[in-house]
Amino acid sequence: MYDRGVVDAPNFQTEMRQLLRERIIDAGRRIVVTEGWGAVNMSRLAKEVGVSRPVLYKEFGNKHELAEVVIQQEVDGFLVGIAESLAAHPTDVAAGFTAAVEYTLRTGADNTLLKAVLAGRSATDTALLPVLMTETEPVLGRAIVAVSAAIRAQYGLAGVADDELTSITEVLVRLALSHLFQPTGPVDRAVEQIRRVIVGAFGAALGS
């Protein structure tokens, strides 16, 4: 007979560690949304979660690591919605991509985390913005790879090489993020502007 405790202990420890990470992430997100990123510090997080600072630092070495994970979760939610938007237009890549852009802009405008970051009230509050805007991960690079794969899976596009599809996707993702982070007018106007670029990009790529 095997010792069940020996078998189950690693799984239990893994589950407990995952639960701890989730509590830390939730606490960090809650503080960002209600008070801004400048209010987040490791001592406060440890106290709110109910662990020691050494335990906290084993999960996240610094605030920057926590920021990446918090934002990655937000991005994952967006990517699910984007895939659903593409699927709603199963044979028309331009219509699907346009729907995905509209979903991103409208959902992003109502996202409490993005609002908290973009409405930073002090220099420390804006410290999270570079993670959103300029770093390859977790936002831009992750979005480009995921959206490119979703488009390929949904539409095939046999006539478009992988590097060309990635290039088109990158341009359109950057354009959508620009309108999300620095809107200059109504969402409808932004969507129409990007739609024209989408039609031109995929029309040229497909030779139509």
Range of the domain at 110: 63-205
Q: What is the mean pLDDT of the chain?
A: 85
Q: Report how far residue 81's alpha carbon sits from residue 100's, in angstroms, rounded to the nearest whole number.
A: 8
Position 174 pLDDT exceeds 80: yes
Q: Which residue has the higher pLDDT, 150 or 128?
A: 150
| Domain presence at residue 52 | no
The total number of structural domains that make up the chain: 1
Lowest mean pLDDT among 17-26, 111-120, 143-152, 154-163: 111-120
| Number of other residues whose CB lies within 10 A of the CB of residue 98 | 22
What residues contact 5, with CB distance under 8 A and at least 6 apart? none
Helix (H, G, I), strand (E, B) or coil at 150: helix
Task: Provide the pLDDT confidence category of residue 187 given band limits of 50, 70 and 90.
Answer: very high
What is this structure's pTM?
Answer: 0.77
Q: Report how far residue 176's alpha carbon sits from residue 11's, in angstroms, rounded to the nearest whole number.
A: 41
Angle between helices 93-109 and 187-205 (to 10 degrees): 150
What letter does residue 184 receive in the DSSP assignment? -
| Domain presence at residue 47 | no
| Domain presence at residue 57 | no
pLDDT in tens, 45-103: 999 999 999 999 999 998 888 888 888 888 888 899 999 999 999 999 999 999 999 99
Position 2 pLDDT exceeds 60: no
Over residues 126-139, mean pLDDT: 57
- Asked whether the bond before 138 is cis by omega within 30 degrees of 0, the reply is yes
CA distances from 97 to 89, 155, 174 (A): 9, 11, 13
| Domain presence at residue 19 | no
Return the pLDDT at 99: 97
Residues above pLDDT 70, as percent of the chain: 83
| Domain presence at residue 13 | no
| Domain presence at residue 14 | no
| Domain presence at residue 48 | no
Looking at residue 171, which CATH number applies to its domain?
Answer: 1.10.357
| Domain presence at residue 36 | no
Residues 177, 76: contact at Cβ < 8 Å? no
